[in-house]
Chain A
């Protein structure tokens, strides 16, 4: 029987032995503890039955912006700024031309490749988000800064590709460009498109996806999708859906945006798969397998081609406890099996 691919999206909560001392460890201690945590996550992903375990929950990274920015020359750090409430992030200030100093993801990627035979996918924070989340004290225009980040990311993907080729694994290297800020400025879709395309320019034999979440701008975003030279989109939907069972529009209101996606691609030959967010990462509610099944069945009715569907959580599950995260992921796998039986029987 044919099946849907289930995949992880990003970060999981770090075990306390790693999180509480992450910045206090020496480099070698941090690598050792991050490796220990990554192994634990790999084991739990495998137990849950996830097909593609991402990069094992991003145990080697503290935060998606800071992790990449710290490896790029031209960025200075002056301190933390507020994200919300009393939550802060280290925001960089672009003070001179950007240049990737060394690879931010190689150690993590090699470790994960050496510790699982399952499929993996490397998330990399995208150029638009890096631009939007930085202070720009150097480049004249926002698009210039986004393109500078894109060139740094392009260099990093080439680093990862060498590791992939050395590993002898079959199939394409999977790279997920994370763009949570990708739709925050209504008039800048062209900057998102150009900079994402620049990030992957000239790199073959890879499968490129983009991850966007928590936006009110899906309809606008979908209009620019045909111009993105990508293979798929991994998006958040469950957060905007109801918990009621059923495959009608009333129950599945979170997935109605898929119609905009289909419309946007109507005249395009470039078909991309849709990584469908079926698990809400902002609540402890454990979605029953039947609810996940219904979400997939409803989406499949709109997409009309099950080969274009993959199944994932809305986003990284780092805001949930590890136990809650894996209970959600186990149900995601079970719900996917139920949907497969209904669709492929």
Chain B
């Protein structure tokens, strides 16, 4: 049975990149951080290609957390205090709504600050797989949300996507997936180019009852997996556990496949992907998981 691989979300920085960014922040880096990020991205894509990854999302090496670059794209949204990301030991800067949220800064035209753009394109590459936090979790994690915040944010996202025109967009939602969220995301453009990723949704199976036109809906919740496979065009199967360092075995894939094979959109094709950001793992372990090639 044929399978593909996909990688979504923030990928761990290499030791070299981590140290280089630290030196850059202290003004002690010899050379350009832009060149180093560009080189690291090239290496990442080379590695992904060699590992037979069909969809390699931007590794987001310039993202300090899942909201940071948005502060420079939208007016009315500022960087707040550090907050714990769910129940992990990883922290993000809480978005703070300070006015009307509007798309004001085209990331393709402004590449001045490597750490303030969601699409850092050092080689002038075209955007293939664009990444955005879902509007639902962004608002849920923000301070000072007003009654018009959601409408304004959706409009800002729509304008952003219209400007960037990515081939595929991954929306990352770390709370529950539900039909209202999918409707909101579908309203942002051509949903056949959208993939929605939810690591730990608790409600997908209960709340989503119709066919959709999404390219993919990925849920890390095993109970929701079968349901989601039936309502998107392609079958993405969360497989690489980003909270454990053990490397997945051939037997684990085969067991998973036995359970869900009747639900696949195309019974001869499916794509394995990560359950959450690889950034929760050390880089070496993430690389080993990706290189895994144990499926029969």
Interface residues in chain A, defined as those with a beta carbon under 8 Å from any beta carbon in chain B: 76, 78-86, 88-89, 91, 93, 132-133, 135-137, 181, 184-185
A142 to chain B, nearest CB (A): 11
Evaluate contact between A82 and B279: CB separation under 8 angstroms.
Answer: yes
Within 8 A of A (CB), among B238-296: 243-246, 279-285
Evaluate contact between A185 and B87: CB separation under 8 angstroms.
Answer: yes
Evaluate contact between A136 and B244: CB separation under 8 angstroms.
Answer: yes
Evaluate contact between B65 and A88: CB separation under 8 angstroms.
Answer: no
Does B206 belong to the interface (CB within 8 Å)? no
User: What's the count of A-B pairs with C-beta under 8 Å?
Assistant: 59
Interfacial chain A residues near B283, Cβ < 8 Å: 79
B273 to chain A, nearest CB (A): 20
Evaluate contact between A78 and B21: CB separation under 8 angstroms.
Answer: no
**What residue in chain B is nearest A137 (Cβ atoms)?**
B246
Residues of B in contact (CB 8 Å), total 27
Of A82, A83, A135, A185, which is in contact with the most chain B CB atoms at under 10 Å from its CB?
Answer: A82
Tell me the complex Cα distance, A137–B243, Å. Answer: 9
Of A78, A132, A181, which is in contact with the most chain B CB atoms at under 10 Å from its CB?
Answer: A78
**What residue in chain B is nearest A93 (Cβ atoms)?**
B245
Tell me the complex Cα distance, A21–B21, Å. Answer: 19
Q: Which of B89, B244, B281 contacts A133 (CB 8 A)?
A: B89
Evaluate contact between A91 and B282: CB separation under 8 angstroms.
Answer: yes
A165 to chain B, nearest CB (A): 36
Evaluate contact between B285 and A78: CB separation under 8 angstroms.
Answer: yes
Interfacial chain B residues near A91, Cβ < 8 Å: 89, 282
Interfacial chain A residues near B245, Cβ < 8 Å: 76, 78, 93, 135, 137
Interfacial chain A residues near B92, Cβ < 8 Å: 84
B182 to chain A, nearest CB (A): 28
Does B148 belong to the interface (CB within 8 Å)? no
Of all A-B residue pairs in the complex, the 5 with the closest CB atoms, nearest first, are A79-B282, A84-B91, A93-B245, A78-B282, A137-B246
Within 8 A of A (CB), among B1-45: 12-13, 15, 18, 21-22, 25
Q: Which of B82, B84, B282 contacts A81 (CB 8 A)?
A: B282
Tell me the complex Cα distance, A76–B281, Å. Answer: 13
Evaluate contact between A81 and B91: CB separation under 8 angstroms.
Answer: no
Does B90 belong to the interface (CB within 8 Å)? yes
B89 to chain A, nearest CB (A): 5
Tell me the complex Cα distance, A237–B12, Å. Answer: 34
Evaluate contact between B284 and A78: CB separation under 8 angstroms.
Answer: yes
Within 8 A of A (CB), among B136-179: none
- A79 and B15 in contact, given A86-B21, A137-B246, A184-B84 (Cβ under 8 angstroms): yes
B192 to chain A, nearest CB (A): 33
Does B49 belong to the interface (CB within 8 Å)? no
A-B contact pairs, 16 of them (CB 8 A): A78-B285, A79-B283, A79-B284, A80-B15, A81-B90, A81-B279, A83-B89, A84-B64, A84-B82, A84-B90, A85-B65, A86-B22, A132-B89, A133-B89, A184-B84, A184-B87
Interfacial chain A residues near B280, Cβ < 8 Å: 81
Interfacial chain B residues near A82, Cβ < 8 Å: 12-13, 90, 279
